């Protein structure tokens, strides 16, 4: 499941996440701390995208790592 994958890979992928979504602050990344649903929700709010689009983009980042 992707949720556990994000939590397990968090330290590996958070740099790529910050690079892809530059509006995410370091403090926000600390708060998210690998929580898939929180990351998806934050991306929806910051970028005005649907939940499905946010999940797709997060999954693409996970697939690269």
What is d(CA 54, CA 48) in angstroms, rounded to the nearest whole number?
A: 9
3-class DSSP state of 24: coil
User: What would the two tokens of residue 20 be?
Assistant: 């892809």
What range does the domain containing 38 cover?
A: 2-64
Q: 3 pLDDT band (50/70/90 cuts)?
A: confident
Total structural domains within the chain: 1
DSSP codes of every residue in 36-55: HHHHHHHHHHHH---HHHHH
Name the percent of the chain lying above pLDDT 90: 82
pLDDT digits (tens, 9 = 90+) for 6-53: 999 999 999 999 999 999 999 999 999 999 999 999 999 999 999 999
Domain at 22, CATH number: 1.10.1470.10
| 29 within 8 A of 40, measured Cβ to Cβ | no
């Amino acid at each position: 499941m992707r949720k556990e994958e994000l939590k397990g890979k968090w330290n590996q992928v958070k740099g790529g996440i910050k690079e892809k979504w530059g509006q995410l602050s370091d403090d926000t990344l600390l708060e998210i701390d690998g929580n898939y649903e929180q990351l998806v929700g934050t991306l929806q709010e910051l970028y005005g995208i649907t939940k499905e689009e946010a999940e797709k983009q997060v999954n693409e980042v996970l697939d690269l790592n």
